Structure formats: structure tokens, C-alpha cells
A and B are shown apart, each in its own frame.
Chain A
Amino acid sequence: MAGWIRCGRRVVLGALVPLLALALAGCGITGGEVQSANETFADNAESIWNLFVPIFWLSVVIFVLVQGALIWAVIKFRYRDGDPPPPQLHGNTKVEVAWTIAPAVILAIILVPTITTIADLASEPDEPYTVDVIGHQWWWEFEYEDEGFKTGNVLHVPADQPIHLRMTAADVIHSFYAPQLFGKQDTIPGRTTNIYFTPEEPGEYYGQCYEFCGLQHANMMFRIVVHEPGDFEAWVADQQDGAPDPEPDTLEARGKEVFFQPGAACHACHAIDGAVAEDGTEAVAEVGPNLTNIGERPILGAGALENTPENLHDWIRDPQESKPGNEMPSFSQDAISDEDLEALVAYLSSLQSERADAD
């Protein structure tokens, strides 16, 4: 008999050590990041995490029992040269019935809170504040139907108020998920899905699309800004007022002209509420995100870039550079000269609601 008999128990133990180390390291290091599920700031995400914790510990117990028994058996019942065949035990019905029932019991224990939590998350709260969410390749549209305005990629909601996200998609399936606030639901063309949650703490939260939706699935992020209740109303009022019109003869005013001029024709795809060109053209198109408050968004291109004037410049010049394959064309020097672009960037950056820097 060959070398396969020799293989010390050291080595077997050696298998567990790295795993355990890895697990411990993991416990220490995960969490606290922008999209971690274990720090929660709304009831919805919290009930998910609260369901997870006991299941996790049960799992740890099962894990330790199984791996422990496995390693123990392998060490204890090793073959030594000359051992006779062990007793040929074929089974033991009692034992087997017992360990059919045991997992069943554990699962029943898991199932009860699972079911109540499902029901909980699906039930519509009283008088929720409703926002429509529409997934596009590859950006998010948020419609405040009652208030009559839209915004893109950054969702604003009030704290301590049940929110109802009424969601669908314009092209392919996406999935809307901000881990610290709520569990995900897909957004599906031709269907409506719902998320209910009550944000508990004002702040800015991260989220992104979680259902593979093509080339730029990776850059389909969004932010959720949770306002103090009072602030939220002010923000809404601001949005309803539309974009501020730039003072005449400023760079921004020039930028607004560029927005409508034939080479750029941004209004062919984008809306800016309240912006009217000299010839009376309005910017109301809905191919791309509504830009009414673009200056106050933290991100550009649904997270492809941070929103800074330089990045905005680069984005308009060549959106395909930072987000290859997205639906917005590039604008060469011929279409928009460097000066015009500077003006355009200045204009867009100025599109902020008055209270934007209150947060």
C-alpha cells in the first residue's frame, strides 16, 4: 500500500486554520462601507438584518458541527497497517429518522420569522409618500407625480415618513437596491413592483442596479438623499419652481444658449424644467435624465463619475470614455467648441436648488 496512508492530522487541521482565519478577518473587516447590508438606517433593511442574524448563528452552529464531526471522524478512524475491516454497519433507522427530523425542526424555526417578515415587508404602510422609479439603460428616473416634477439618479425623500417606491422599467429588467435602507426589488418593463420603507436618519445613501442589464450595468448607481422633514418640503418647492434662469450676459447665460444651439441640441434628449430658449424652444425631452437639478447631484452618468465641473466637461465631450456604450453621444470640438463647452458646464453646474448645500 502506497503513501496514501500517510498524511498527518496536522495537515487536516491545517485546512481549518486558514478558513477560520479568513472568517475572523471577514467579521472584522466587513461592514461600515457605503453599501454594506449590516448597517441599517430604515425599518425595511433593519428587519432583513434582524432576520439574518439568528439564521447566521444557526448556520454557524451547523457549520461547526458538520465540519467538526467530519474532521474528527477522519482523524479518529484512520486506518493503520494491518487493521481488519471494521464492522459492516449498514445503517440505523432510528438514528436516520432522528436526523431527518432535526433539520426539519431547524428549518421550521427559520421559516416562521421568514414568513412574518415577508408579510411585513409587503404590507403597505398608512399614507405613504409615493415616488415612481423607472429604470433605464443605464440610469434611474424618479418621478414625483403629485408634485409634477422628475429627477434623475438621485432620489430625495423625507425622513420618518413611510415611502412607497412604485417601480417599473423602460427597456430591460433592472433592480433597485440601497442596502442600508431596504431590500431590493426588480424593476420590470410592463409591470409594477413596490418597495416600502421608512428612512430613519437624514443623510446620503448609496445604491445601484443589481440586475444585469447590459453593457453598463456596473455604472447604474444612484444616491438617496434623506432630508429632515422640513427640508424636504423646501426641496420639493425648489424643484417645482424649475431651474433658476441665469443672469443675462453671464457665462451661464451663454451656456444656456449652447444647450439649445444646433451643434449641441441637448434639449433633444434632456429636459430642464423652466428653461426656454430665445426662440421659445423648451427643454422637455425625456430620452436622458432630467437635468433640472444637475448641479447638485453628487454623481454623473449614474455613478460613472463624480460630479465636478471638470468631470462634467469630460462627460459632455466624451461620455463614452468613462461609460462606454451608454446612450449619450460624444460631442467633438466641431459640435461644441471649447469655449462653448466651458459655458455649458458653468450653466449646468449652476443648476442647483437654493437649499442644496443645506445638507
Chain B
Amino acid sequence: MAQAVAAREEQLDRWAVIWDWITTSDHKKIGLLYFWTSLAFFFVGGFLALGVRSQLVVPNSAMMSPEVYNQFFTMHALVMIFLALMPMSAAFFNFIIPLQIGARDVAFPRLNSFSYWVYLFGGLLLCSGFLFGAAPDIGWTGYTSLSSSQYTPGMSGDFYVMGLQVLGFSTVAAGLNFFVTIVNMRAPGMSLMRMPAFVWMSLVTFVLILLAFPALAIALFALMMDRNFDTVFFSAADGSVVMWQHLFWIFGHPEVYILILPAFGIISEVLPTFSRKPLFGYSFVVFSGITIAFLGFGVWVHHMFTVGMGPIPNMVFATTTMLIAIPTGVKILNWLATLWGGSIRLTTAMLFAVAFVGMFTIGGISGVMHAAVPIDYWQHDTYFIVAHLHYVLFGGTMFGLIAGIYYWFPKMFGRYMNEAMGKWHFWLTLIGFNLTFFPMHFLGVDGMPRRIYTYPSDFGWELWNLVATIGAYLLGFATLLLVINLIKSIRAGQAAPNDPWDARTLEWTTTSPPQKHNFDRTPQVRARDDFWDQKYNRTGEDAEAEGPEEHIHLPPGSYIPLLVAFGLMLLGAGIIFTLWLSVIGGIILTVGLFAWAFEPND
């Protein structure tokens, strides 16, 4: 009897915990939700990549039908970009940014939880295409007229359009929220030029999100109208087939910087910490970030050099594209200079950060090759591009994010990760990564097109495809180590103090993991790298770095964001399945928004 009661109570307890996670508006919990979800999606994307590699391991392979292959590589890219890498950056935005700027939470906690739920539902919507055998199979770039209802009839194209459209809401909402948070919620004394580099790069990312995603929204909307409501935006006869490419890349190029800038930011934290030196040329790093964002809107045509727009546009965009290598190069050199003369500790986080610099440079250099237009007439849509994009996305963004995981793990979970296993993870990743993607350059030279599900045996492509596939499996194995390490360390890692790395920024002043309200007292910022300054430069009275104690107010949780997110997802899903769903979704959305507006939340 008593046992049954206890069991029931425990169950109730569990429900309370789940309810707490569902309704949470705490940026740290939302950050963790982002973290685990994006990690899960990374595995989905990686699984699809292994499918792609398995099909290509030998010529004339019959493992997959072309339909399935096309779905695999398309979904691989969509999942990796929109459901794994961007949200993993978002995990760090959520967890770290408020801590780094000395804030209690983000500016709009419920909007924040809304972003997460839209991301989750949108991601599930996008992936649910597989359940209907109709996952998008038009490449992540979805070029018209292939993606029109004439050449891609049925649901697969709609999953692409509506999945991305819904996800866009999540991204823009997060972009708005964090933009306001960074601009408006910095601790006293934290002027713009005292913000940690990660915060700066994130801020630039949010500006890019706010300005780039609308172009995608319009492109997707127009495509949706073309597919479902007979408009003629992208018809060859009435409209223009190429218009899609312009809209997509006006979004798409800034998007790649949206992917890389947070990683730039992470690196700019990790390298100084483990070199025990400040970031070299902080203001150059900051301004080059801004320059990259600015130039990022003026280079989109470099994805379209072969559409035949004529020599003049190609010359102009070759120039702007090359210009963008300058601020990026400045960053690379500043990171090198940060290492130079430092006192370097090669933790796993540091190893990934250092490798980031090396690997990203390879990808950047091949990018500059594409920018030389005639060379792009050769390399475009060959495996050379596939090599480039993985060197910057995996060797860049992913290495950066992994560095971030190892770096901030003690703060997020209060424990160290296992360094020995971390080292294994690093070396296997580095080797597997290069084994997978370096040979793709050779395949590019040998003219292997991307996005082909099979290839003949007499073109000389067997060897390097085999090597790449072996590398991919090695990489997959390495990634398993990461997850094992995460789980083991959360359970039984060595307890970490507040400041395990002798670090430099504010997040390390609070407890590990941070207490619910982050800081007992609002920090008082007196310098860039304030925490380092506190530890090493201030004495006596001066060391008192914290502001006065304040009334602590934490927003209550709410289930309404989840409701609204769900309504939004249904609204999108209706376009794919039946408009009735849209109606229901619309009603839920409207009711939810009203409830949101009038929910007391103080």
C-alpha cells in the first residue's frame, strides 16, 4: 500500500519534471533542450551521410534506388544545416550569452521557448517526409524548375517548402530575441567593445539572420504559391527559372556565415583561454566580423557563375567574393597571433580549436579557387565543391562547436568531460575527417559530379570514393565516442569548480552548473575579459567586481509558446496534407497568440 503510494508520487514527480521542461522559459534549460535535440539530429544527418557514402563506395552500386539516394543527400544537408549545426549554435547562444553578458535571462523568455518548440516541430515536420516515402529529393538548394509541381509532383517538394518555412520562424524569432538581449541586457560597464568575442560574433550572426531569412521566406512562399496555387513566379514561360537561385543565394550565402560566425566566436574564446593570453587584435576580429556580414550580402552570385549572366556580373562578384577572404584571413592570422607567445594547454577543446584554424583555412582557400570564375566553370557542381563545403562546415563550424562542447561542458553540467576519451575523439575525428573529405578534391579534379547516385567504373573514381567512405565510417565511430563521453561524464565525470580552465569571461564567475538566477548580484564590468582582470589585475577594494544585490525576479514557465508553435506547425503541415489541418492550426495559433498576449507573466 505504502509502496504504491510512493510509486505514484514518484510518477507524479516525473510528470512534474517533464512539465517543467516543457513549460520552461529558463534560457539554460532551453539551451540544453537545443543541445540534445541538435545532437540527435546530427546523428540523423550523419546516418544519412553514411547512407550516401555507402552507396558510393563502389561504382554501379545497386544498394539504393536513385529516389532514395536523392532523398538521402538532400535530407542530409537540410538536417545538418537547419536541424543540427544552427541549433547547436543556438544551444550555446542560449546557455552562454546571458551568462557572458551578466544577464539573468534573455529579453523575451517565452519567445525563446517558442523558438525552441518551433524548431522541434518544424524539424519533425521536415523529417516526417521519410514516413510517407516522400522526403525532399531536390537538393538542399531546391532549384526551380526541378522543384516545381510539374517536375516534383507530390508531397516531397511540399515537405521541403513548408518544413523550411516553419523552421524560419524559429530562427527569426531567436534572432530577434538575442539581438535585443545582447543590445539591451548587458551588465553595467559592459560596453560594446568589452563584450566577449563570442557575443560579438553572435550579434553579427543575429543581424545576418534578421536580414537574410526574409529572402528565404519570400523564395519559399513564392515556390509554395507556384506549387499549390498556380502562380507563375518560376515558370520558364511567364516568369523566370533563375529567380529562385537569386533569392535562395541572397539568403544562402549569408546563411553560410550564419553557420560559421558562432564557431568563429567560440574559437575566439577557447584559443585565448588555453593560451592564457587575450585575443590578439580584438577590435580587428570584431570589425572583420562586421565586414564579413556586410560583404556577405554582396557575393551571392558566386553560386551562379555558370548560369550565364554574362562576363560583367561574374567579374563583379568574383571581386566581391575575393574581398571577403580578406576579413576572414585577418581573423585566421589574429588567432595565430593569439597562440603566439602564449602558454598553451592542449586540452581537447583547445585541440579542436587549433584544428579548426587549420581545417577552415583549407576550406577557405578552396573557396577562393571557386571565386576565380573560370575555375568555377570547372569546379562548380563537382566534388571539389563538396570538399570545400565540408571543410568549412565540418572542419569549420562543427570543429568549432565541438570545441565549444568540451569547453563549456563543465559550466553546463558541473563536471569535466573525460580528457583521455576526448583526445581519442579528437584524433579519430581529425583523421577520419581528412580521410573523408580531402580525397574529394581529387575526385573534383577528375570531374566527378556531385549529387550522382552512381558512377561508371572506368572513370577512375573508385579509389578515392572508397577512401572517403572508410573515412566517413571512422568519423561516425569518432562521433559515437563523443556521445559516450558526454553521457559518461554527466553521470560520473570529475566534479568541476566554477572556473575550471582559468578562463577570462563572466560565465565562469557563477557556479557550475549555474544557479537558477545565474548571478547573485549583477556583475559590474570594468574591463574586457573582466574575469581575468578580476583575478590577476585587481587588488583590494578594486577586486569587488559585483554590483549591489538586487531583487531577483524569474519569469514563470508557460505552455503557451508550445501551443502556438504547434499551431504554426499544423498551419504549415496543412499545405502538405490537407488544408483542414491549416485551418485547425490557424485557430490554435490565433487562440494561442491571444492567450500569450494576455497571460500574466510578472
Contacts and interface: CB of A to CB of B under 8 A. Distances in A.
**Do A and B touch, yes or no (CB under 8 Å, in the complex)?**
yes
Interface of A: 1-5, 7, 11, 14-15, 18-19, 22-23, 26, 29-38, 45, 47-48, 51-52, 55-56, 59, 62-63, 66-67, 69-70, 73-74, 77-79, 83, 85-92, 95-96, 99-100, 103-104, 107, 110-111, 114-115, 117-119, 121-122, 137, 171-173, 175, 177, 179, 182-186, 188-194, 206, 208-219, 303, 324-325
Interface string B115-159: 000000000000000000000001100010110000110000000
Interface in B342-383: 342-348, 350-351, 354-355, 357-358, 361-362, 365-366, 368-369, 371-375, 377-378, 380-382
Given A55-B369, A215-B67, A85 B146 contact: no
A351 to B, nearest CB: 24
B372 A218 contact: no
17 contacts: A7-B346, A51-B375, A77-B275, A77-B340, A85-B536, A90-B281, A96-B284, A99-B329, A100-B330, A110-B368, A118-B318, A121-B374, A177-B447, A179-B447, A189-B236, A218-B449, A218-B452
Contact of B241 (A7, A63, A74, A188): A188
Contacts of A188: 236, 241-242, 307-308
A96 B334 CA distance: 8
Given A78-B344, A191-B241, A70 B336 contact: yes
A26 B374 contact: no
Nearest to A115: B315
| Interface band, chain B | 35 or more
B11 interface: no
Interface string B444-456: 0111111111111
Interface stretch (B32-40, B208-216, B427-435): B427-435
B308 A191 contact: yes
Nearest to B150: A171
Contacts of B138: 212
B306 A73 contact: no
Given A26-B439, A34-B460, A55-B369, A96 B281 contact: yes
B146 A107 contact: no
A11 B459 contact: no
Nearest to B329: A103
B344 A79 contact: yes
Contacts of B93: none
B600 interface: no
Contacts of A185: 306, 308, 377
A110 B460 contact: no
B365 A59 contact: yes
A48 B374 contact: yes
B531 interface: no
A90 B438 contact: no
A48 B375 contact: yes
Interface in B325-345: 325-326, 329-330, 332-334, 336-337, 339-345
Interface in B390-442: 416, 419-420, 423, 427, 430-431, 434-435, 438-439, 441-442
A189 B241 contact: yes
A216 B375 contact: no
B357 A66 contact: yes
A22 B438 contact: yes
Main DSSP-derived SS at the A contact region = mixed
A213 B146 contact: yes
Contacts of B460: 32-34, 36
Contacts of A208: 449
Contacts of B358: 66-67, 70
B191 interface: no
B323 A107 contact: yes
Given A23-B438, A184-B380, 9 more contacts: A7-B423, A26-B438, A31-B446, A55-B372, A79-B343, A118-B315, A212-B143, A215-B67, A218-B66
A110 B445 contact: no
Interface centre among A56, A83, A114, A213 (most CB of B within 10 A): A114
B82 to A, nearest CB: 19
B236 A103 contact: no
B45 to A, nearest CB: 19
B75 to A, nearest CB: 14
Given A110-B322, A218-B455, A70 B339 contact: yes
B519 interface: no
B370 to A, nearest CB: 11
A78 to B, nearest CB: 5
Given A90-B280, A96-B281, A70 B354 contact: yes
Nearest to B314: A118
Contacts of B342: 73, 77, 86
A122 B310 contact: yes
B284 A3 contact: no
Nearest to B431: A18
A245 to B, nearest CB: 35
B278 interface: yes
Nearest to B365: A59
Nearest to A80: B343
A61 to B, nearest CB: 10
A119 B280 CA distance: 41
Contacts of B275: 77, 86
A35 B372 contact: no
A326 to B, nearest CB: 10
B463 interface: yes
Nearest to A56: B369
B556 to A, nearest CB: 41
B349 to A, nearest CB: 9
A96 B337 CA distance: 10
A92 B280 CA distance: 8
B374 A70 contact: no
B447 A77 contact: no
B353 to A, nearest CB: 11
B66 A216 contact: yes
A163 to B, nearest CB: 16
A34 B240 CA distance: 35
B53 interface: no
B485 interface: no
B442 A26 contact: yes
Contacts of B378: 37, 45, 48, 52, 179, 183-184
A190 B315 CA distance: 24
Contacts of A216: 66
B65 interface: yes
A217 B308 contact: no
A215 B66 contact: yes
B442 A30 contact: yes
A111 B318 contact: yes
A209 B439 CA distance: 22
Given A30-B446, A67-B361, A183-B377, A4 B455 contact: no
A324 B346 contact: no
B307 to A, nearest CB: 5
Contacts of A110: 322, 368, 372
Contacts of B325: 103, 107
B314 A66 contact: no
Contacts of B368: 55, 59, 107, 110
B456 A303 contact: yes
B548 interface: no
A12 to B, nearest CB: 8
B277 interface: yes
B72 interface: no
A30 B382 CA distance: 14
B534 interface: no
B6 interface: no
A4 B419 contact: yes
Nearest to B451: A212
A111 B319 contact: yes
